[in-house]
Structure 1
Amino acid sequence: MTARHLFKTAIKALKSHKSRSFLTILGIVIGITAIILVMSIGQGAQDLILSQIQGLGSKTIVVIPGREPTGPSDVAQVFSDSLKERDLNLISRKENVPNADKIVPVVFGGESIAYGNETYRATVLGGAADVFEIFDIYPAEGVAFTESDVRSRQAYAVIGSKVKDELFGGDEAIGQRIKIKEKNFRVIGILPQKGQVSFFNFDEIVLVPYTSAQDSLFGIKYFHRLIISADTEENIPRVVEDLQATLRNSHNITDIEKDDFFVQTQADLAMRIGTVTSILTLLLVSVAAISLVVGGIGIMNIMLVAVTERTREIGLRKALGAANRDILRQF
């Protein structure tokens, strides 16, 4: 029995059971497609998240208040008031952190922004004047607020492109006053379309001096984050060590296990997110692989049924001199 004859016999058998053959092949196709799609989506999501994180700059270091979470039950520890103005003053001294290039205190929260009869919910981000350089985004229209504006607690706002469109439409926004928590802020600048950078969508953001945000909007005397830019990538480990030493001294901490803050570099964050997304992708691939296994079991069942249905044919072929090898090749 030649290979050509076996192929013709197989095609004939498939055609005689079209529905069964179609469903069997469909199960395998769905399984393989699901695995490919899940892997592609997982890798794409990981690349997107990492690119957004890296948009903050490879030399950026973030100090976060609270104990570093080790699991879901520790997440609340992140929301702490341990970073104060005194800490900012200490790490701003060159003798304490000599390799720090820029230091930006940050406070943030979601608030409703109002202008006339229009309202839009956006992220209000209070920062120092260097916040524009740290995030590498500058007003496309108008100006940014200055360090003098921060010190004098000016009620100035630089708004994202979507905030401008939602509140003002095609009207002029520069010089107009918007309301945040019933407090008036004058729009002095409009950001270009930027999208997501790190954990902030700069199209849906309102940037204000952090002093104004602390006093007028959030009523706090602490910072949610301290964002530091190292002078070079090679000096990042040294900056991290200096930050930890300075803050531990400021907080009278002698046991590192009792740190009420943690320092995170972009490399640390990228590694953690990469690990999480890889685990999620593996989990999803495992689930998708079940479809492939089910399809394989379906084929096994169909093959068993095919052999059972053709028992008489097999007996006849063997009676006519077919060897076991020939029967096996046929199926």
Structure 2
Amino acid sequence: MKLSDPLKISYRTLSASKLRFFLTVLGVVIGVASVILVMAIGASAQKLVLSQIENVGSNLVAILPGASEEKGPPASALGIITTTFTNDDLKALRERRNVPHLSAITGYVSGSATAEFQSTSLESSFQGVSPDLIQIENIHIASGRFFFPEEEYDLSRVMVIGATRAKELFANRNPVGETVTLKKIPFKVIGVLEERGSATFSNPDTLIYVPLGTAQKLLLGIHYLNSARAKIDDPINIERSIADITLLLRKRHDMKDTEESDFSVRSTVAALDILTTITDVLKYFLLAIASLSLLVGGIGIMNSMLISVSQRVREVGLRKAVGAQRIHIITQFLIEASFITLVGGIIGIIFGVLIAYIASLVLVKLGYDWRFLVPLFSLGIGFFVSFIIGIIFGLYPAIKASRISPMEALRYE
């Protein structure tokens, strides 16, 4: 038997049962496409997180209320509300003698409300922040100004709005000097920010910023902070500053040496590590689900090949009667199974890449700095896995076919 003979026989067999071939390939296509899509989205998400951290700089420190594991998410991310981090803590952190290398700091509180200007109403997210936000987040003013220090706690009814929200509320007119109501409270627009692009989990261009004290007392009715972010004068002083902040807050909160801190202090690098860990866990979880699709596809291939074996008893028996050996029969059926999975793998790779590309276009259209990334090794994995599935799930039907004797072929007739 020539080496090309099993290929020719396999091609004729698969061509004769196009519907079964299509349905069998479909399972592999879905599985491989899912794997490629998950790995592409995972790579793009991690790149987005990294770019956001790079944009704000490596010399920032986040202060988050609530205890948390060193490598785990903050308590606030788990929906736990902690009220122990206050404005007095923020004021103490601003004192240079307490944290010598701290150059700027802002507190954060957030909420949502209906923003109204004349006949236009939009459900909007707002943040109460300190004047230092401009230094912390590298914000640039397109028109007007940002908050003065004295406006942070004197309940000033002023606001600065993001570029997108300004367009939505005011169309082509200049918002500076106009009055917008939040929760029926009038606020004077004093500034509009330059467009920044979407961040990892939000779009800052749609945010409305108000002074910290105003947001706490007039809009939210709270006395505590959701978080704070500090800028350190030099990245080499990050660890020293984290220690200073931790010592100060533990002292202010009257914490004993044996007590766990009721807050966490993390650098942007540590935050990146945590976010990377979270995205990795999510990626591998989704990969496990996608692998189930491949498993189902493999079982479908095995069932299809077993049906093929039962329908080709006469053919196999006659081939063995004229001299075909078991290895020839096994080779033929393995080639058929591998061909099915390789076709499914190639189509799955194409579909996975295409869907990932379309998803990136949609996210960019929504304003996110999303980059289309498909790790090259994921393409190799998709191709290799599809081939291995063909071998593994085609082996049993192939062995079963090789055991058919010429006498069985006669009885089959």
TM-score (norm 1): 0.89
Residue 180 of structure 1 deviates from its aligned partner by 2.0
> Equivalent residue for 2:318?
316
> Equivalent residue for 1:208?
210
> Equivalent residue for 2:251?
249
Give the whole-Å Cα distance in 1 for the aligned partners of 2:117 and 2:316: 84
Structure 2 letter corresponding to 1:193 = E
Residue 6 of structure 1 deviates from its aligned partner by 2.5
Equivalent position to 1:137, from 136, 139, 142 = 139
Q: What are the Cα deviations for residues 94-132 of structure 1, in whole angstroms up to 9, with x where unaligned? A: 221111111212222212222223222222222221111
Give the whole-Å Cα distance in 2 for the aligned partners of 1:72 and 1:213: 23
> Equivalent residue for 1:271?
273
> Equivalent residue for 2:354?
none
Give the whole-Å Cα distance in 2 for the aligned partners of 1:67 and 1:86: 19
2:51 is the counterpart of 1:51: yes
> Equivalent residue for 1:107?
109
Give the whole-Å Cα distance in 2 for the aligned partners of 1:309 and 1:214: 76
Structure 1 runs, 4 residues or longer, greater than 6 Å off: 69-77
Q: What are the Cα deviations for residues 54-85 of structure 1, in whole angstroms up to 9, with x where unaligned? A: 43332111112233377999867842221223
The answer to whether the 8 A contact 1:66-1:77 is kept is no
Structure 2 letter corresponding to 1:315 = G
> Equivalent residue for 2:87?
85
2:251 is the counterpart of 1:262: no
Q: What are the Cα deviations for residues 151-206 of structure 1, in whole angstroms up to 9, with x where unaligned? A: 65432211112222222222221111222233322111111221334655321112
Structure 2 letter corresponding to 1:297 = I
Give secondary structure in 1 for the equivalent of 2:229.
Answer: strand
> Equivalent residue for 1:64?
64
Q: Which piece of structure 1 moves more, 155-164 or 78-87?
A: 78-87
Give the whole-Å Cα distance in 2 for the aligned partners of 1:130 and 1:72: 23
Give secondary structure in 2 for the equivalent of 1:196.
Answer: coil
Give the whole-Å Cα distance in 2 for the aligned partners of 1:199 and 1:18: 46
The answer to whether the 8 A contact 2:68-2:74 is kept is no
Change in 2 beyond 3 A, CA 1:190/1:312: same
Q: CA RMSD in A?
A: 2.6
Aligned length: 331
> Equivalent residue for 2:148?
146
Give the whole-Å Cα distance in 2 for the aligned partners of 1:21 and 1:151: 71
The answer to whether the 8 A contact 2:66-2:74 is kept is no
Equivalent position to 2:227, from 204, 225, 228 = 225
The answer to whether the 8 A contact 1:178-1:187 is kept is yes
- Structure 2's unaligned 5+ residue stretches are 334-413
* Higher strand residue share: 1
Q: Identity, % of aligned pairs? A: 35
Change in 2 beyond 3 A, CA 1:24/1:262: same
The answer to whether the 8 A contact 2:34-2:290 is kept is yes
Q: Which piece of structure 1 moves more, 52-61 or 163-172?
A: 52-61
Change in 2 beyond 3 A, CA 1:292/1:147: same
* Higher helix residue share: 2
The answer to whether the 8 A contact 2:113-2:183 is kept is yes
Residue 244 of structure 1 deviates from its aligned partner by 0.6
2:301 is the counterpart of 1:306: no
Q: Which piece of structure 1 moves more, 237-246 or 129-138?
A: 129-138
Change in 2 beyond 3 A, CA 1:58/1:8: same
The answer to whether the 8 A contact 1:52-1:196 is kept is no
Give the whole-Å Cα distance in 2 for the aligned partners of 1:296 and 1:97: 61
The answer to whether the 8 A contact 1:214-1:221 is kept is yes
Give the whole-Å Cα distance in 1 for the aligned partners of 2:16 and 2:55: 59
Q: Which piece of structure 1 moves more, 46-55 or 284-293?
A: 46-55
Give secondary structure in 2 for the equivalent of 1:154.
Answer: coil
Give the whole-Å Cα distance in 1 for the aligned partners of 2:248 and 2:127: 26
Structure 1 letter corresponding to 2:118 = G
- Structure 1's unaligned 5+ residue stretches are none
Q: Which piece of structure 1 moves more, 10-19 or 71-80?
A: 71-80
Change in 2 beyond 3 A, CA 1:81/1:73: closer
